[in-house]
């Protein structure tokens, strides 16, 4: 029997408030792989990201999501997180009054089902913050409250670093970052990646792929993965733009 | 009706605080209120004649005044069914071993003797109408600090009590203050001499045990110039099908340069009407603070007040209210600026879930001539679902132009996006909502001493779990 893929999306149809956004998405991520999912605005990228973690607003009308061979399509977000799935949000929410370190400790406790010892956890947290070039005072700030765009994205990767998921879905983690922040965030993601996990990197631009080398690139247009290929596909897209590809696809359909 | 009330019981509250002792009272007055009952209370307490007359006059006020209708619905308060005086023991003790076993067990379960050992300078414990235990650390006694129950104070320090009692909240102030003045029993009397700073808190714990009990403690705190005290009160009651009534009066005098902080962590059972009058008079450069945590009760009406009497006086109210199913918490604050250069801050946080209702009701009054006074009011309400309700009634009576007044109010709902964010990090829906609520009340919790902060978070968690689960 062949080795189970880490993660597979099979014929996924998803609606939001009665409107069909995803129309049969197919995607497989194996252990150790980095996949880039690219697409123009409105193609369904964020819908896919939110749906993969079980956002209640996104209704799966057909197809399924498999994680380590298990059908997780009907599980709630917390159950998926405890199984090792993670989403870095495009727009992380503010949680006023809750300190980053308290939040992370609770999250680690929930995901690993074991309370991390205070001192060991602090050491781990500061170490990971060091990689992301975050000041230690960050740990005592309220989650995302008053954070700059770059700080929010770093905070997402920090969460990924301490939760150590098997699958990380990164939803436009590069958007809103200046070049220095992009380098730091990408460095953090590279440091975390490896054969113990898989990454689905969702992005509009090719820019972040200069820092993170994907094994595969997929293009999502109008709710379907219309092209898949190696890293070269990203460069091709950057040169031609999505519009050419969309025309090609439409031609193919007609 | 009975069925409906059982339905609002919170399972976790029941386990932790909802127990009750069999009634073994040495004296239990007939239910209902009359001149005879008031005379009887005064006689049993062997009070001076002036107090007996004070009570009877207050009873007249109570009888004459209509029920207030401007706040919560009080039509279900059955004044005729309430037991106004319940005395469980003849003894008042300075040693827990002398407290009757079953009462001591109650306070053990509530963790009071343990807290006393760990971090308190003095403790009072009231069981229904009477205080059963009172103790102040010896070094503080030597410095002239007085911390006794108010009945003892009336006996041992009659002059001070007579000088101050009823001066901040006169018996005819409002119907419920009149009721308390007529039938009061127990409560704390605190006297801090000039310049004495009591660095660890004094705590009083108020426990209602009997069904249909009325608890009417009367607290009086006098802080002489330059002194400091932090007084903490906690409250719980068993869960019965019939309603109980808690109606306290708290009067505080904060003299020149003194500072008093009064912290309440009330966690009443959902069958308690909690109708309390609390007021501080704050003098030159003195600071008075109410930290008010209102959880539980069927209906709470409570508006701690600061009367800023002289230049430089500062008053602060920081309150939270958490209303669950079948509960209405109508809470707020009053700031009365009666002198120049006075300042006040009101911060109100309320949470409503499962159809519960919170109201913020507040008054800022500035008298003519109170120039350069400042007041800031901030009310934030958090609704956990569509059925719950929150209202804001801010009243401003500003009769002076040279003042700075600020008011901000927000109402927010726990959003699906916030919940999803936290749940995507492994927290269950209840854990996620609890975290958001704890974050919401963090500004209040962080000013509590650590032990109370832990207690507050725990009570909030119970309240969250009680209804979601």
Percent of the residues in chain A that have a pLDDT greater than 90, as a whole number? 84
Tell me which chain B residue has its CA closest to the CA of residue A99. Answer: B439
With an 8 Å Cβ cutoff, are A98 and B420 in contact? no
Widest CA span of chain A, in angstroms?
63
Q: Tokens 């001499």 correspond to what residue?
A: B193
Contacts of B424 in chain A (CB under 8 A): 53-54, 77-78, 80-81, 86-87, 89
Which of B424, B426, B438 is closest, CB to CB, to A98? B438
Chain A residues with CB inside 8 Å of B421's CB?
A: 89, 92-93, 95
SS3 state at B370:
coil
Model pLDDT, residue A2? 54
With 60 as the cut, is the pLDDT of residue A86 above it? yes
Residues contacting B131, CB < 8 A, separation 6+: B92, B124, B125, B149, B151, B152, B186, B187
0.80 cut: is pTM over it?
A: yes
Q: A245: pLDDT confidence band, cut at 50, 70 and 90?
A: confident
* Any B CB within 8 A of A55 CB: yes
Give the model's pLDDT for residue A110. Answer: 95
Q: Which has the higher per-residue pLDDT, A146 or B19?
A: A146
CA B332 to CA B359: how far, in whole Å? 8
Chain A from 129 to 148: CB within 8 A of any B CB: 142-143
Instruction: Give the one of B418, B431, B441 whose C-beta lies nearest to A95's C-beta.
Output: B418
**CB distance from B415 to chain A under 8 Å?**
yes
First and final C-alpha spacing in chain A: 39
In 3D space, the residue among B27, B31, B36, B38 whose CA is nearest the CA of residue B179 turns out to be B38
Predicted ipTM of the assembly:
0.96
More confident residue, A122 or B5: A122
- Residues from chain B that touch A97, judged by Cβ atoms under 8 A, are 438-443
* Integer Cα distance of A123 and A119 in angstroms: 6
Mean pLDDT of chain B: 91
CB contact at 8 A, B54 and B45: no
Quick check: helix, strand or coil at residue B16?
helix
For residue B238, how far is the Cα from the chain centroid? 17
* Gyration radius of chain A's alpha carbons: 18
Q: What are the backbone angles phi and psi of residue B277, rounded to the nearest 5°? A: -115, 125
Helices (runs of H) and strands (runs of E) counted in chain A: 8, 10
3-state class of A120 per DSSP?
helix
Contact criterion met (CB < 8 Å) for A78 and B432: yes
Of B177, B165, B180, B171, the closest CA to residue B129 belongs to B180
B442 to chain A, minimum CA–CA distance in Å?
A: 5
Whether B431 sits inside 8 A of A106 (CB atoms) is: yes
Using the Cβ of A56 and the Cβ atoms of chain B, whether some distance falls under 8 Å is answered with yes
Question: Distance (Å) from the C-alpha of residue B229 to the closest C-alpha of chain A?
Answer: 28
* Least CB–CB distance from A93: residue in B421, B441, B442: B421
Helix (H, G, I), strand (E, B) or coil at A110: helix
Whether residue A81 lies within 8 A of chain B, CB to CB, comes out as yes
CB contact under 8 A, A110 and B440: no
Of B416, B423, B442, nearest to A97 by CB-CB distance is B442
pLDDT of residue B466: 63
Chain B interface includes A202 (CB < 8 A) = no
As a dihedral over the C-alpha atoms of residue B357, residue B294, residue B235, residue B167, rounded to 10 degrees, the angle is -110
Instruction: Provide the edge-to-edge strand list for the sheet that holds A70-71.
Output: A19-29, A7-16, A58-67, A70-71
**Arithmetic mean of pLDDT, B167-171:** 97
Helices marked H in B410-449: 416-423, 429-440, 442-445
**How far is the C-alpha of B360 from the C-alpha of B329, rounded, in Å?**
8
pLDDT exceeds 80 at position B94: yes
Q: What confidence category does residue B468 fall into, taking pLDDT thresholds of 50, 70 and 90?
A: very low
SS3 B66: coil
* Minimal CA separation from A237 to chain B, in Å: 32
User: Which residues are CB-neighbours of A179 under 8 A, at least 6 positions away?
Assistant: none
Which of residues 136 through 155 in chain B touch A, CB cutoff 8 A?
none
Q: Quote the minimal CA–CA distance from B436 to chain A in Å.
A: 6
A chain contacts of residue B439, beta-carbon cutoff 8 Å: 95-98, 142-143
DSSP assignment of B115-145: HHHHH-SEEEEEETTEEEEEEE-HHHHHTT-
Residue B443 has pLDDT above 90, yes or no: no
Which of A16, A93, A158 is the best residue to mutate to test the B interface, defined by the most B CB atoms within 10 Å of its own CB?
A: A93
Residue of B nearest to A55 (CA): B420
Confidence tier at B455 by pLDDT (50, 70, 90): confident
Q: Do B417 and A93 touch (CB under 8 A)?
A: yes
Q: Which residue has the higher pLDDT, B45 or B14?
A: B45
B interface test, pick of A50, A97, A168 with most B CB neighbours within 10 Å: A97
Distance to chain A for B153, nearest Cα, Å = 43
**pLDDT at residue number B328:** 96
Q: How many Cβ atoms from other residues are within 10 Å of residue A139's Cβ?
A: 18
| Structure-token match 């962080």, residue found | B446
Per the CB < 8 A criterion, the answer to whether A141 and A152 are in contact is: no
Query: Considering only CB atoms, which chain A residues are within 8 Å of B432?
Result: 78
Is the pLDDT at B307 greater than 90? The verdict is yes
What is residue A253's predicted lDDT score, i.e. its pLDDT? 56
Least CB–CB distance from B439: residue in A55, A78, A97: A97
Give the helix/strand (H/E) hosting A216.
strand A216-221
On chain A, the residues whose CB falls within 8 A of the CB of B351 are none
Interface residue A253 vs chain B (CB under 8 A): no
* Residue B10 pLDDT: 52
B193 and B164 Cβ atoms separated by less than 8 Å: no
Kind plus residue range of the DSSP H or E element containing B272: strand B272-282
The answer on pLDDT for A120 being more than 80 is yes
Sign of CA dihedral B87, B89, B91, B92: negative
Q: Do B423 and A93 touch (CB under 8 A)?
A: no
d(CA A100, CA A97): 10
Checking if the pLDDT of B3 tops 60, the result is: no
Range in A47-51, B93-97, B284-288 the model is least confident about = B93-97
pLDDT band with cut points at 50, 70 and 90 for residue A13:
very high
B428 CB near a chain A CB, below 8 Å? yes
What confidence category does residue B249 fall into, taking pLDDT thresholds of 50, 70 and 90?
very high
C-alpha dist (Å) from residue A204 to A43, A207, A209, A246, B344: 10, 9, 11, 15, 52
> Which B residues 342-361 touch A at CB under 8 Å?
none
Interchain pair A110, B439: CB under 8 A: no
User: Is B305 within 8 Å of B316 (Cβ atoms)?
Assistant: no
Q: Which of B425, B434, B435 to mutate to test the interface with A (most CBs of A within 10 A)?
A: B425
Distance CA B13, CA B295 (A): 11
Q: Is the pLDDT of residue A244 over 50?
A: yes
Average pLDDT over residues B34-50: 95
Tokens linked to B268: 């009443």
Closest-CA residue of B relative to A89 is B421
Identify the three-state secondary structure at position B382: strand
Please indicate whether, in this complex, the C-beta atoms of A110 and B425 are within 8 angstroms of each other: yes
Instruction: Check CB contact under 8 Å for B422 and A56.
Output: no
Judged by CB atoms closer than 8 Å, whether chains meet at B435 and A95 is answered as yes
A81 → closest Cβ in B416, B425, B439: B425
In sequence order, the 6+-apart residues with CB closer than 8 A to the CB of A2 are: none
């Amino acid at each position: 029997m062949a080795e189970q893929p880490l993660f597979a999306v099979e014929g996924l149809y998803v609606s939001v408030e009665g409107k069909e956004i995803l129309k049969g998405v197919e995607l497989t991520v194996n252990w150790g792989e980095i996949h880039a999912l690219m697409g123009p605005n409105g193609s369904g990228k964020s819908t896919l990201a939110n749906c993969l973690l079980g956002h209640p607003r996104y209704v799966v009308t057909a197809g399924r999501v498999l994680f380590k061979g298990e059908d997780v399509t009907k599980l709630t977000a917390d159950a998926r997180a405890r199984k090792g799935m993670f989403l870095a949000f495009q727009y992380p929410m503010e949680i006023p009054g809750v300190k980053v370190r308290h939040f992370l400790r609770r999250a680690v406790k929930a995901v690993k089902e074991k309370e991390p010892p205070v001192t060991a956890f602090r050491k781990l947290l500061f170490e990971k913050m060091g990689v992301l070039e975050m000041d230690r005072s960050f740990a005592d700030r309220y989650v995302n409250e008053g954070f700059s765009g770059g700080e929010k994205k770093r905070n997402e990767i920090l969460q990924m670093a301490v939760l150590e998921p098997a699958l990380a879905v990164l939803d436009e983690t590069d958007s809103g970052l200046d070049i220095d922040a992009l380098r730091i965030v990408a460095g953090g993601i590279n440091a975390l990646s490896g054969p113990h996990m898989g990454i689905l990197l969702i992005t509009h631009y090719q820019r972040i792929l200069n820092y993170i080398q994907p094994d595969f690139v997929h293009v999502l247009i109008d709710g379907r993965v219309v092209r898949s290929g190696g890293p070269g596909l990203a460069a091709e897209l950057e040169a031609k733009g999505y519009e050419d590809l969309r025309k090609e696809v439409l031609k193919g359909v007609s | 009706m009975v069925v409906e009330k059982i339905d609002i019981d919170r399972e976790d509250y029941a386990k932790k605080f909802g127990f009750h002792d069999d009634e073994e009272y040495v004296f239990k007055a007939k239910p209902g209120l009359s001149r005879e009952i008031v005379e009887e209370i005064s006689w049993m307490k062997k009070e001076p004649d002036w107090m007996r007359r004070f009570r009877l006059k207050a009873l007249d006020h109570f009888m004459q005044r209509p029920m207030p209708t401007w706040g919560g619905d009080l039509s279900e308060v059955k004044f005729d069914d309430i037991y106004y005086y319940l005395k469980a023991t003849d003894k008042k003790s300075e040693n827990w071993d002398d407290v009757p076993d079953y009462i001591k067990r109650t306070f053990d379960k509530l963790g009071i003797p343990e807290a006393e050992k760990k971090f308190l300078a003095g403790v009072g414990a009231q069981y229904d109408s009477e205080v059963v235990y009172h103790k102040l650390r010896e070094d503080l006694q030597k410095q002239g600090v007085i911390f006794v129950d108010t009945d003892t104070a009336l006996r041992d320090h009659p002059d001070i009590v007579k000088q101050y009692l009823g001066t901040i909240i006169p018996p005819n102030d409002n119907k419920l203050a009149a009721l308390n003045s007529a039938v009061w029993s127990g409560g704390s009397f605190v006297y801090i001499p000039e310049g004495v700073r009591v660095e660890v808190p004094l705590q009083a714990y108020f426990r209602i045990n009997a069904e249909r009990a009325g608890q009417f403690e009367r607290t009086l705190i006098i802080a002489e110039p330059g002194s400091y005290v932090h007084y903490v009160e906690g409250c719980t009651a068993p869960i019965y099908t019939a309603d109980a009534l808690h109606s306290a009066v708290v009067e505080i005098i904060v003299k020149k340069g003194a500072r008093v902080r009064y912290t309440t962590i009330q966690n009443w059972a959902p069958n308690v009407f909690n109708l309390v009058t609390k007021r501080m008079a704050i003098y030159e450069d003195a600071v008075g603070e109410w930290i008010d945590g209102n959880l539980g009760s069927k209906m709470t009406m409570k508006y701690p007040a600061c009367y800023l009497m002289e230049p430089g006086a500062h008053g602060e109210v920081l309150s939270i209210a958490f209303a669950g199913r079948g509960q209405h918490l109508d809470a707020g604050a009053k700031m009365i600026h009666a002198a120049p250069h006075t300042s006040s801050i009101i911060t109100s946080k309320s949470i409503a879930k499962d159809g519960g209702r919170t109201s913020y009701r507040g008054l800022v009054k500035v008298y003519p001539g109170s120039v350069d006074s400042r007041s800031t009011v901030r009310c934030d309400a958090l609704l956990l679902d569509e059925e719950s309700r929150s209202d804001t009634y801010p009243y401003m009576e500003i009769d002076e132009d040279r003042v700075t007044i600020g008011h901000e109010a927000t109402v927010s709902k726990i959003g699906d996006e916030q919940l999803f964010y936290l749940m995507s990090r492994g927290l269950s829906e209840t854990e996620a909502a609890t975290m958001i609520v704890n974050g919401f009340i963090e500004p209040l919790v962080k000013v509590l001493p650590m032990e109370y902060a832990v207690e507050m978070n725990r009570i909030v968690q119970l309240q969250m779990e009680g209804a979601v689960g």
